[in-house]
Amino acid sequence: MTRVMPKGSNIPLTAVDAVRAVLRWRVAPGGPDVDVVALLLGTQGRVRGDEDFVFYNQPRHPTGRVRHRSKTRRGEDVTDTLDIDLAQLPPEIERVVVGGAAEGGHFGQLTGLCVLLYDIARGPDAEPLARFDITDTTPVGALLCGEIYRRSGGWKFRAIGQGYASGLVGLATDFGVTVDDEPETAPPTESAQSAQSAETAQSTQSAETAQSAQTAQIVQRAPAVAPGTAARSGQDYGYGYPQPLPAQLPPLPTYRPLLPEPPDFALPLQGPQFLPVD
């Protein structure tokens, strides 16, 4: 017979060697997806290392005694499951926390949320040992659903239902898990922007000064010739520089014709417009 547990209550797990903790919820339009997680805690109430955090990206504890199973869906109900071998857990493990994380929304959007605890030895068709309905969910991203803990040489299960507004990161770090978040890049301050603008202006001014100096050097290489100055030798000028004209051009020479021109001699008309047309 299944025992329905109110929030804060506990039950003994007498003669139970292994349990299956199932987190179940009903599919909601626009609602989140949910993942069940487990944290194995030592005597200080914290994980001994990050390997004591079992979830979808680390589905098996190194001891093999806590395992995350695949999700299943039946109709509108979805379940996510943990198998916990209580009899074979290391003695330094005092508690196993069962939690849940919502992705793409929050737990306040879900209905039918509950934790079911089964005795694995009774088989897959057996009724659950306990059922804890989580009805007072708020807009939180993670839930501490319940915990299985040692007491007087045996084990007990406590219904908790505590929400975490900080999500899975808050739940995990509360129990000692190291979460590596990439640091956000802070926007540049006003003083940093002013310094950057001044550096850019200085670089631009230096480039313009260098270009002006280079232009002046090129101009100085080309000697100027004042008007009315006699022409200098071509060797004084580099290739490509304009050659100055002399102050006065000499007269053109005259030559006697070698043969007398015949009478009525005239050159033919020249140009394409005078070519004969076939």
Q: Summarize pLDDT for 243-254 with one digit per residue, the tens.
A: 555 566 667 666
**Does residue 217 fall inside a structural domain?**
no
Residue 250 main-chain phi, psi, to 5 deg: -70, 155
Residue 185 pLDDT class (50, 70, 90 cuts)? very low
Q: What percent of the chain has pLDDT over 70?
A: 65
User: Average pLDDT for residues 14-33, to the nearest whole number?
Assistant: 95
pTM over 0.75: no
140-175 confidence digits (pLDDT tens): 999 999 999 999 999 999 999 999 999 999 999 999
Q: Is the pLDDT of residue 228 over 80?
A: no
C-alpha pair distances (Å), 31 with each of 24, 68, 111: 14, 23, 10
Residue 208 lies in a domain: no
Q: Average pLDDT over the chain, rounded to whole? A: 81
**Model pLDDT, residue 205:** 62
pLDDT value of position 236: 47
Would you state the pLDDT for residue 38? 98
With 90 as the cut, is the pLDDT of residue 106 above it?
yes
Give the β-pairing of 3-4 and 130-133.
Answer: parallel
Domain encompassing residue 124 = 3-12+30-174
Asked if residue 157 lies in contact with residue 148, where contact means CB atoms within 8 angstroms, the answer is: yes
Give the separation between CA 97 and CA 161, rounded to whole angstroms: 11
Any domain includes 137: yes
Q: Write out pLDDT tens, residues 118-148.
A: 999 999 899 999 999 999 888 999 999 999 9
**Alpha carbon 155 to chain centroid, angstroms:** 43
Q: Give a yes or no: residue 277 inside a domain.
A: no
Q: Residue 158 domain-assigned?
A: yes
The enclosing domain of 79 has a CATH number of 2.60.60.30
pLDDT value of position 82: 98
SS3 at position 197: helix
Q: What is the pLDDT of residue 27?
A: 93
* Residue 136, SS3 per DSSP: coil
Is the pLDDT at 25 greater than 90? The verdict is yes
Higher pLDDT, 148 or 202: 148
Amino acid at 136: D
**Residue 100, domain member (yes or no):** yes
On whether residue 226 sits in a domain, the answer given is no
Domain count, the chain: 1
Binned at pLDDT 50, 70 and 90, residue 268 comes out as: low
Q: Which pLDDT value is given to residue 35? A: 97
Q: Residue 192 falls within a domain, yes or no?
A: no
DSSP symbols for 86-112: GGGS-TT--EEEEEEEEESS-GGG-EE
